[in-house]
Amino acid sequence: MQTLNILKIGGKLIDDLTALAPVLEAFLQKPGYKILVHGGGKKASELSTRLDVPVKMVEGRRITDADSLEVAVMVYAGLFNKQIVALLQSLGANALGLSGADGNVILAHKRPVKEIDYGWVGDVDEVDTAAIGRLLRADFLPVFCAITHDGKGQLLNTNADTIASRLATGLAADWQVKLYLCLDKNGVLRDAEDNDSLIPHLNEALYAQLNSEGAVHSGMIPKLDNAFAALSKGVAEVIICGPETLLNGGTLLSL
């Protein structure tokens, strides 16, 4: 079974192409096929302000109305995606920028309205792993932004961590998938303010213990929950890392 490395990047990295370049160089050194998934950074909020589109947040989550969706598509599927593709091309990788609508590779549905109406936010239903496999074997490096579609003409803003996880679990049947979640910190830390307090190995039991003690930063909990779920569905390895620990280091997760 061939190795497939999936790297999800977000945070400050995609706001700074100078800082991103060495991270991508390190990623390209890893043996095997590769997929990159990226979020949107702060640029969507900055452009919204310039266009007088209100930024609406509820409990730390963005509400995506029709105007906000237009901004997200412009930034995620346009500016950021093509900047990253161009940077990868300059490093010798034959990158191909994609949204979920391209090639019909990621189908999603609009999140149902419950306590909160998140607007045009999508939850993933299906990943066309065969189509993605054909791209990989044709020596393309797919670069996925955080935009999917519902198959009926509607684009949807979708969490990049979820896209990375669903790609990893969907492709795990045919590939030895290693999922890298690259954050601003070096990995999972015992002290969120101390980048040297790295936990090199984290299993579910230790995670549960740290979580019960309140030692896991709230922003890390959904990422770790997704990561352990990916391991339970056949992903070979999940590594939480930072720009300096992508090549060697970070936190290796295990069940």
Residue 9 covered by a domain: yes
Q: What is the pLDDT of residues 219-248, one digit of tens each?
A: 778 889 889 999 999 999 999 999 988 988
Residue 164: the pLDDT is 96
Q: Which of 48-52, 121-125, 161-165 has the lowest mean pLDDT?
A: 48-52
> Is 86 contained in some domain?
yes
Instruction: Supply the pLDDT for residue 59.
Output: 65
pLDDT value at 195 more than 80: no
Residue 106 carries which side chain, given as an amino acid letter?
Answer: I
Q: What is the largest CA-CA distance in the chain?
A: 50
Closest CA to 158 of 112, 229, 102, 110: 110
Q: 226, 228, 196, 199: which is closest to 213 by C-alpha?
A: 199
Q: 227 phi and psi, to 5 degrees?
A: -65, -45
Which long-range contacts does 134-140 make (Cβ < 8 Å, 24+ apart)? 135/96, 135/103, 136/4, 136/33, 136/35, 139/94, 140/94, 140/95, 140/96
- Taking alpha carbons only, the member of 198, 202, 169, 204 closest to residue 183 is 198
pLDDT for 60: 65
How many CB atoms neighbour CB 111 within 10 A?
18
Amino acid identity of residue 34, one-letter, is: K
56 pLDDT exceeds 90?
Answer: no
Q: What is the pLDDT of residue 112?
A: 95
- pLDDT exceeds 90 at position 71: yes
Query: Per residue in 134-148, pLDDT tens?
Result: 999 999 999 999 999
Q: How far apart are CA 167 and CA 97, in angstroms?
A: 15
Mean pLDDT, residues 52-64? 79
Average pLDDT over residues 184-198: 84
Q: Tens digit of pLDDT for each residue in 1-22?
A: 899 999 999 878 888 889 999 9
Is 235 a member of any domain? Answer: no
- For position 11, what pLDDT does the model report? 78
Q: Residue 54 above 90 pLDDT?
A: no
CA distance 253 to 160: 19
> How many structural domains is the chain composed of?
1
pLDDT band at 123 (very low <50, low <70, confident <90, very high): very high
Strands 3-9 and 147-149: unpaired
Do the Cβ atoms of 238 and 247 come closer than 8 Å? Answer: no
Report the CATH number that the domain containing residue 78 is assigned in CATH: 3.40.1160.10
In this prediction, residues 186-212 reach a mean pLDDT of 87
**In a domain? residue 227:** no
Detail the DSSP E strand segments found in the chain. Answer: 3-9, 33-38, 56-58, 61-63, 95-98, 106-110, 122-127, 141-144, 147-149, 155-157, 176-182, 201-203, 237-241, 251-254
Q: How far apart are CA 185 and CA 183, in angstroms?
A: 5
**Strands 237-241 and 251-254, bridge-based pairing:** antiparallel
In whole angstroms, what is the distance from residue 87 CA to residue 17 CA? Answer: 8
Residue 228 lies in a domain: no
∠ CA 65-68-72, rounded to 5° = 130
State percent of the chain over pLDDT 90. Answer: 67
Residue recorded with tokens 């065969």? 130
Residue 248 in any domain: the answer is no
- Greater confidence (190 vs 99) lies with 99
DSSP 111-139: PPPSSS--BSBEEEEEE-HHHHHHHHHTT
Answer whether residue 210 is part of any domain: no
pLDDT tens readout for residues 203-217: 999 998 888 887 777
Q: What is the pLDDT of residues 82-106, one digit of tens each?
A: 999 999 999 999 999 999 999 999 9
Structural domain that includes position 70: 3-183
Quick one: pLDDT at residue 221? 83
Domain membership of residue 116 (yes or no) is yes
pLDDT at 254 over 80: yes
